[in-house]
Structure 1
Amino acid sequence: MARAYPLASFRLKAVVAAALVGLASLGAQAQTAATASQIPNPSTEITQSGYSPIYLGVDAETATVPSNPATAGGAPTISRAYITRIDLFAPGISLETSPHSGPLNTTAETISQFAAQTRTRIAINGNFFAPCCNAAPEPKTVIGLLVSNGNVVSPLTTDPTQSEAVLAVTRQNRAYIAEAPEISPAQLKLIQYAVAGSAILVKNGQDVSAQSPNEGDPLNPNPRTLVGLSHNGRYLYFAVIDGRLPGYSTGTTNEQSAQLMLAAGATDAINLDGGGSTEMVRADVLGQPFIVNTPSGGAERFDAVGFGVHALPLPQLPF
Structure 2
Amino acid sequence: MARFHPPASFRLKTLVAAALFGLASLGAQAQTAVAASQIPNPTTEITQSGYSPVYLGVDTETATVPSNPATAGGAPTISRAYVMRIDLFAPGISLETTQHSGPLNTTAETISQFAARTGVRAAINGNFFAPCCNPQPEPKTVIGLLVSNGNVVSPLTNDPTQSEAVLAVTRQNRAFIAEAPDISQPELRLIQTAVAGSAILLKNGQDVSAQSPNEGDPLNPNPRTVVGLSEGGRFLYMVVIDGRLPGYSTGTTNEQSAQLMKAIGATDAINLDGGGSTEMVRADQIGKPFIVDTPSGGAERFDAVGFGVHALPLPRLPF
Could you say which residue in structure 2 is the equivalent of 1:193?
A: 193
Shift of 1:13: 9.0
Look up the equivalent residue of 2:125 and give its one-letter code: N
Q: Distance in 1 between matches of 2:27 and 2:54?
A: 41
Could you say which residue in structure 2 is the equivalent of 1:156?
A: 156
Judging changes above 3 Å, is the alpha-carbon distance between structure 1 residues 73 and 17 closer, same or farther for their aligned structure 2 residues? same
Could you say which residue in structure 1 is the equivalent of 2:4?
A: none
Could you say which residue in structure 2 is the equivalent of 1:134?
A: 134
Q: Distance in 2 between matches of 1:135 and 1:18?
A: 71
Q: Distance in 2 between matches of 1:95 and 1:114?
A: 13
Could you say which residue in structure 1 is the equivalent of 2:292?
A: 292
Could you say which residue in structure 1 is the equivalent of 2:5?
A: none
Could you say which residue in structure 1 is the equivalent of 2:67?
A: 67
Look up the equivalent residue of 1:154 and give its one-letter code: S
Q: Equivalences for 1:2-151 in 2 at 5 Å?
A: 23-151=23-151
Secondary structure at the aligned position of 1:232 is classed as helix
Q: Distance in 1 between matches of 2:300 and 2:115?
A: 13
Look up the equivalent residue of 2:213 and give its one-letter code: P
Q: Distance in 2 between matches of 1:283 and 1:24?
A: 49
Could you say which residue in structure 1 is the equivalent of 2:175?
A: 175
Look up the equivalent residue of 2:123 and give its one-letter code: A
Shift of 1:245: 0.6
Look up the equivalent residue of 1:196 and give its one-letter code: A
Look up the equivalent residue of 1:127 and give its one-letter code: N
Q: Distance in 2 between matches of 1:17 and 1:60?
A: 48
Deviations 1:199-247 (A, max 9, x none): 1111111111111111100111000001000101111000000000111
Q: Distance in 1 between matches of 2:22 and 2:119?
A: 63
Look up the equivalent residue of 1:236 and give its one-letter code: L
Q: Distance in 1 between matches of 2:84 and 2:155?
A: 27
What's the RMSD between the two structures over aligned residues? 1.9
Q: Distance in 2 between matches of 1:168 and 1:142?
A: 16
Q: Distance in 2 between matches of 1:137 and 1:28?
A: 61
Deviations 1:5-61 (A, max 9, x none): xx9x99999997776566444433321211011111111111111111111111111
When structure 1 is superposed on structure 2, of 199-208 and 25-34 the one drifting more is 25-34
Secondary structure at the aligned position of 1:133 is classed as coil
Could you say which residue in structure 2 is the equivalent of 1:4?
A: none
Shift of 1:175: 0.1
Deviations 1:130-162 (A, max 9, x none): 000000111111000000111111111110011
Deviations 1:261-292 (A, max 9, x none): 11111111100000000000111111111111
Secondary structure at the aligned position of 1:166 is classed as strand
1:238 partnered with 2:238:
yes
Deviations 1:79-121 (A, max 9, x none): 1111000011111100100111111111101011111110100
1:301 partnered with 2:301:
yes
Aligned residues: 314
Could you say which residue in structure 1 is the equivalent of 2:223?
A: 223
Q: Distance in 2 between matches of 1:10 and 1:289?
A: 69
Look up the equivalent residue of 2:312 and give its one-letter code: L
Secondary structure at the aligned position of 1:315 is classed as coil
Could you say which residue in structure 2 is the equivalent of 1:251?
A: 251
Secondary structure at the aligned position of 1:210 is classed as helix
Look up the equivalent residue of 2:239 and give its one-letter code: A
Shift of 1:70: 1.5
Q: Distance in 1 between matches of 2:114 and 2:26?
A: 59
TM-score between the two structures when normalised by the length of structure 1 = 0.94
Shift of 1:171: 1.4
Shift of 1:173: 1.4
Could you say which residue in structure 2 is the equivalent of 1:205?
A: 205
Secondary structure at the aligned position of 1:240 is classed as strand
Q: Distance in 2 between matches of 1:119 and 1:247?
A: 35
Runs of 4+ in 1 over 3 A off after TM superposition: 9-26
Look up the equivalent residue of 1:207 and give its one-letter code: D
1:279 partnered with 2:246:
no
Secondary structure at the aligned position of 2:233 is classed as coil
Look up the equivalent residue of 2:309 and give its one-letter code: V
Shift of 1:196: 0.2
Q: Distance in 2 between matches of 1:272 and 1:151?
A: 20
Q: Distance in 1 between matches of 2:308 and 2:23?
A: 58
Percent identity, aligned pairs only?
87
